[in-house]
């Protein structure tokens, strides 16, 4: 019996505050700046997963607003569903999963990130309400 393709599903939240800053983390596992996110648990909805991941990585509780994009890492077979979120409560702080958590202007956040992750922030803050889909190799868009 052959087994079909195996993919991992991740979620991420681009949290945007009233000043149009985004909440970003420097990941403990790879030292990269990204929007907070991670692997979706089997028993949770997409919205529950992104809210949990943002809280775990930043200490900030959010309201999940809408899907802004779906991204596939072709080299690792990871599909990430990204949501725009609004902060509700909590102060950003480093956690077991992040070494640094900061509110940054969009341009500063994008400058710190690899292109494959910067585009997630750009797509989320775009005035276009249509979700996008993109593929990348873990670093660059393809």
Measured distance CA(8)–CA(10) in Å, rounded: 7
Judge if pTM exceeds 0.85: yes
Measured distance CA(84)–CA(68) in Å, rounded: 6
72 occurs within a structural domain: yes
141 occurs within a structural domain: no
Full domain range(s) for residue 127: 8-136
Domain count, the chain: 1
69 occurs within a structural domain: yes
142 occurs within a structural domain: no
Q: What is the CATH number of the domain that holds 65?
A: 3.90.79.10
- Helix, strand, or coil (residue 45): coil
33 occurs within a structural domain: yes
* pLDDT tens digits for range 94-126: 999 999 999 999 999 999 999 999 999 999 999
Check residue 10 and give its pLDDT: 97
CA distances from residue 22 to 32, 45, 76, 81, 118 in whole angstroms, order as listed:
16, 23, 26, 17, 11
């Amino acid at each position: 019996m052959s087994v079909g393709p195996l993919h991992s599903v991740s979620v991420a939240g681009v949290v945007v505050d009233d000043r149009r800053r985004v909440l970003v983390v420097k990941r403990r596992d790879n030292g990269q700046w990204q929007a907070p996110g991670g692997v979706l648990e089997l028993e949770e909805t997409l919205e529950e997963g992104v809210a949990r991941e943002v809280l775990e990585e930043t200490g900030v509780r959010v309201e999940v607003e809408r899907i802004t994009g779906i991204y596939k890492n072709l080299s690792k077979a990871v599909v990430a569903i990204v949501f725009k979120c609004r902060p509700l409560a909590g102060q950003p702080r480093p956690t077991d999963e992040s070494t640094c958590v900061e509110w940054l202007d969009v341009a500063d956040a994008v400058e710190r990130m690899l292109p494959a992750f910067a585009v997630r922030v750009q797509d989320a803050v775009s005035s276009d309400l249509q979700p996008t889909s993109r593929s990348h190799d873990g670093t660059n868009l393809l």
